[in-house]
Every structure is written in C-alpha cells, then in structure tokens.
Amino acid sequence: MDKKTQLIIGGSVGGAAIVGLVVTSIVLANQPAALILRATANTISDARKIEAFAVAEDVANGGSVAVSANLDSIANDDVYVQAKYYSDAKNLKGAYEMTMTEDDDIILDAQITYNQDKFAFSCPELFDGAYGVTYKNVEKNLPGSIFDPDEETDYSLDDEQFAYFLGIKDTIKNDKNLERDIDNMITKYRQLAVNSAVKHAEVGKGSKTITVGDEKLPCTLISLSLDEDSLALVVEDLVNYANNDKDLEKLLRRVAANGSYNEDPDEYIDQFYDNLDQMEESIDDLKDSHVDIQVDFYITSSGRRLARLDAEMEVDDESVEISLVLGKNVAKSKEISLTATTKSPNYTETVEFVYTVEEDSSRAYEAELNIEHSRTRSSSSSSSTPRVEEYKLSVEWDRKSGDFEFKLKYDDDNLVLKGSLLLKGDTYTFVLSNIRVGGTAVPYVKSLDLTIKVDKHDPAPNVPGRFTEITTMNERDFKHLTEDIEEGIEKIQEKYFDRW
C-alpha cells in the first residue's frame, strides 16, 4: 500500500471517527435525562437574568443598600438618620454604617467593618478608638480570657459558644466560595435524581405544542412514570450515593460550622445522616404502598428551555397535582403560573399563583400577581362550599418619570404604596411618598422622606489597621466599654425620642 493510499484511508477513518463522535454527542444530548438537565440549567440561568435577581446578586457581591429618613415628625428635633450595609460575599467582606444628624451636628456615627481576617467597630460619640477581633488570634487569646467558661466571669460564654469562637478562624476561611460550592452540590444531586428517575421509570418521548399566554410553543414532551418499586429504587440510589459522598460530608461540616453557635456541628451532621438512615429504612414501607407518579416535561424545541412541568403523585388515598408554566424564556415571559392541588378523602386544597406582565420595557414595567387559595371539605356523601382566599398584587412603574405604585388587595382590605423609583447608573433610588390602608392615608409618611438606595457597585470600606483586641481586654475595661455604649444610647433616646 503506497503512502497516498494510506493517507486517504487514514483520513477516511479519522473523518468517520469525527462524524461518529458528533453523531454520538447529538444522540446523547437528545436523550431524556440530558434534555431535562439541559433545559433545567438553561431555565435557571434565564431566571438569574430577571432584573430583581440580577440586581440582588450584584449587590451581594460588591454593592450596598442604604435606608434614610427624616425623623423630625416623630423626634424632638430635626433628626436625620441613615443606615447602610455593604456586601462583598465573594471576598468575605462587608460593613454596616449608621449615622444620625441634627442639622449639621453629628449625633451618632457608628461603623462595623469586617473581612476574612478580622472585624472592628467604632463610634466616636459613644467611646474612644476602635475595637475588634483578629480571627487568627482567637484560638490563642480566648482561653483564660473573660469569655472563657472556666473563668466564671459575668461575660463567660457557654461551652457551645466558646467552642464556636475557638474555631471561627477556620470557619470563616472555609466560607470562601461556600455559596458556589452549595450551588454545585445542588446541581450534582439534581443530576443524580434526574438520571436515576429516567433509569428506573417508564419513559415516553414525543412532541406537543402548548400555549402560554398568547404564544404557541412547539415542545419536546418527555414523560416519566414511576410506581412504588421504581420510586424505591430512586430513593435507594440517592441515599446510597449520599452516604458515601465525602464531598457532601465536607460541605455539610462547613455549613454546620456557621450555625453551631448554640449547637455542636457534629450533632447537625449526625442528624442529617440519621435522616438518611430513616429514608433507607422506609424503602420497604414504600414498596408496600400504592404509588403512582407521572411527570411531564415540556421542553422548547428551540432554545431548550423548560416551558412547562406537570406532575401528578398518588400515594395510597392521597394525591397531589402540580402544574408550573414558565413559557419560552422565564426572564421574558408575559405569564408565569403555578397551581398545586392536594386531595384526600376529607378535603381538597388548591393554591394558584398567576404572574402576568403587561409591559416590561425601557419605558415602563407593569405586572400583576394573583394568588388564590381554596379549601373544600368533603365526605362520602357531600362536599362543603369552598373557602376561598384571594390576594392581588400589582406594580406600575414609569421608568422615565419614576412614578411607582404598588397595590395589595385582600378581600375588602387594600394597601396602596406610592413613591418615586429612579435608576441612574448603577443606583436605584426609591422615595416613599404615600401609604394608604383601606383608603386612609398613614400619617407622617410624606414628611419622613423615607429613601432606599440600592447601589449595584459600591466597594465596602476597609477594616481599620489598628484597634483594641476585645479578646485581650480585662473585665473592668470591657465593663466600661459596654456601659459607655448603653449610657450613650440612653442619652440619645432621652434627648431626641423621650416622647416615645
């Protein structure tokens, strides 16, 4: 065989391998589990682009929220107050600030700042200097201090609190990327659940066009049917995986360390695995029950989004039906709805949420949320008249002029909130002008000049370089500090707010 022939054959084989790889990828990508997971991931990604969620994420990772008001109508003098919170969760950094002024005089200027290494607080009007804690020094300073339970001082912590602070350096260090790691773990177990359900269920695949609002959406319909035996296998898969998942255990310990101020983190971990054991023990009971589950995924043919999800579950003599309608793109949908109905021999209960958008443009935003909750008692012979509760929430916002109105109606009661909401650069500024309850205006609202500023990009101030370490203070000095704070706050209350 000459070299030219070898090249032709080699090229053909290579080309065939590439074509085969492409075909295999397409086939795998269009398998039920892959379609469901991709559609879910794309839909979650779209949801994060909704303005409110996107702004909240920006603020949490490098922005601020400030609330201010003029208290002259409720205070003894012309007092103006502002509270502000900076957040930079990705870098474990943030700050709280509170200022009170009377004309040009400062009544109070308090600040708390923190990062992954330390925190400090100051308030010149109450005490001199700054006080704080350097986390890496806590393990060395805390034993034998006024906070040690063995010292039996007025400021001694209990054993659980003492253990929590001894380990705070590692806790905060492990909080780096904690939110991201939790999201990744949720994604992993969502994939496990879908793959297991598809493996054990009866799976159907077809095409169907659905209507959402006034839009027709061609969809791929994937149906999963599970009975008591197949559901038991799914539960068994997840429990077995979780019991052997070392990454999950490490993540749980990181989460538990944050919430262990009054509880041993090991108890939290033990409780989680005890629940897994109970789930495992209930598998046999599950097999002895009557279970019928039907889940229908409507996945848009273009874009691969989850347009609708219908689920029915019947367990013995009780059943639940759920329908979630999201549309072509949840971030741009004109109508989103969720309906859930629970049925038992004694009652039928339905909750329905319907969110509709009249306009969402650069000019205006107008939307409405209707909530209806009904419950009907029933017996073998008759059914009672349904008890229905209805709520209606609506928002009208002129982005150009700033005119903003929020309405809440519940039966014969209603709440109307009016103000101005303007976006300039990265900052949303809302000024409240009126609140009416049942048609009656709430007093003092306009004079309060209540203002909320949300800044998507506002760097948090740094922790001061020098401060007094709280963990090394003696009992006398710490007592003086706490008394100075208490007495200073009491004086402010007496001078400016004694009529309250």
pLDDT band at 264 (very low <50, low <70, confident <90, very high): confident
**Which range is least confidently modeled, 14-18, 75-79, 240-244?**
14-18
- Please give the average per-residue pLDDT across 63-89, as a whole number: 92
Strands 468-469 and 130-134: parallel
Cα–Cα distance for residue pair 322/342, rounded to 1 Å: 9
**pLDDT by residue (tens digit) across 373-388?**
999 987 655 667 788 8
Query: Span 362-374, mean pLDDT?
Result: 95
Q: Which amino acid is at 57?
A: E
Q: Write down the mean pLDDT value for the chain.
A: 89
Q: Give the position of tokens 């909130």.
A: 417
CB 325 within 8 A of CB 310: no
What does the pLDDT look like over 469-478, one tens digit per residue?
999 999 999 9
Is the pLDDT at 479 greater than 80? The verdict is yes
Is the model's pLDDT at 181 over the cut of 90? yes
Query: Which token pair is 113?
Result: 């700042």
Question: What's the pLDDT at 141?
Answer: 96
The pLDDT, as a whole number, for residue 1 is: 52
Q: What is the DSSP letter of 412?
A: T
Residue 246, pLDDT above cutoff 80:
yes
pLDDT band of residue 262 (cuts 50, 70, 90) is low
What is the mean pLDDT of the segment spanning 254-267? Answer: 78
Percent of the chain with pLDDT over 70: 92
Contact 358, 369 (CB under 8 A): no
Q: 463 with 106: CB under 8 angstroms?
A: no
Q: Which pLDDT does position 30 carry in this prediction?
A: 54
pLDDT, tens only, 9-30: 444 444 333 333 333 333 334 5
Contact 1, 8 (CB under 8 A): no
For residue 443, pLDDT over 90 is answered with no
Amino acid at 197: A
Helices (H), 379-474: 445-448
- In this predicted structure, the answer to whether residue 57 has a pLDDT above a threshold of 70 is yes
More confident residue, 263 or 393: 393
Give the predicted TM-score (pTM) of the model: 0.85
What pLDDT does 418 receive? 96
Average pLDDT over residues 113-129: 96
What is the maximum span of the chain, computed from C-alpha positions, in angstroms? 105
What CA–CA distance (Å, rounded) separates 421 from 431? 7
- Looking at residue 379, what is its pLDDT? 66
If you ran DSSP here, which 8-state letter would residue 150 be given?
Answer: G
- pLDDT at residue number 26: 35
Query: Which percentage of the chain shows pLDDT scores above 90?
Result: 70
pLDDT computed for residue 261 by the predictor:
65
Length of the chain in terms of residues written = 500
Q: Which residue has the tokens 């109105």?
A: 405
Helices (H) and strands (E) in the chain, counts: 13, 21
Q: Give the mean pLDDT of 304-316.
A: 92
**CA–CA gap between residue 278 and residue 239 (Å, rounded):** 10
Residue 392 has pLDDT above 80, yes or no: yes
Structure tokens at 33: 């589990």
Mean pLDDT of 37-50: 92
* pLDDT score recorded for residue 382: 61
DSSP run (H or E) holding 429: strand 427-437
Q: Give how far Cα 220 sits from Cα of 29, 296, 305, 401, Å.
A: 13, 10, 10, 43
Half-sphere exposure of 84 (CA within 13 A, CB side): 21
pLDDT tens figures, 91-116: 999 999 999 999 888 999 999 999 99
Q: Taking the CA atoms of 199, 279, 283 and 227 in sequence, report the sign of the dihedral they define.
A: negative
Q: What is the mean pLDDT of residues 306-321?
A: 92
> Quick one: pLDDT at residue 225?
95
> What count of other Cβ atoms lies within 10 Å of the Cβ of residue 161?
15
Confidence (pLDDT) at 173: 85
Check residue 260 and give its pLDDT: 65
| 3-class SS string, 26-70 | HHHHCCHHHHHHHHHHHHHHHHCCCHHHHHHHHHHEEEEEEEEEE
Q: 299 in helix, strand or coil?
A: strand
Residue 238 has pLDDT above 50, yes or no: yes
Q: What is the mean pLDDT of residues 326-335?
A: 93
Residue type, 450: L
pLDDT at 205 over 80: yes
- State the distance between the two ends of the chain, measured CA to CA, in whole angstroms: 102
Question: Which has the closest alpha carbon to 405: 391, 419, 393, 415?
Answer: 419
pLDDT at 259 over 90: no
Q: Are 229 and 326 in contact (CB under 8 A)?
A: no
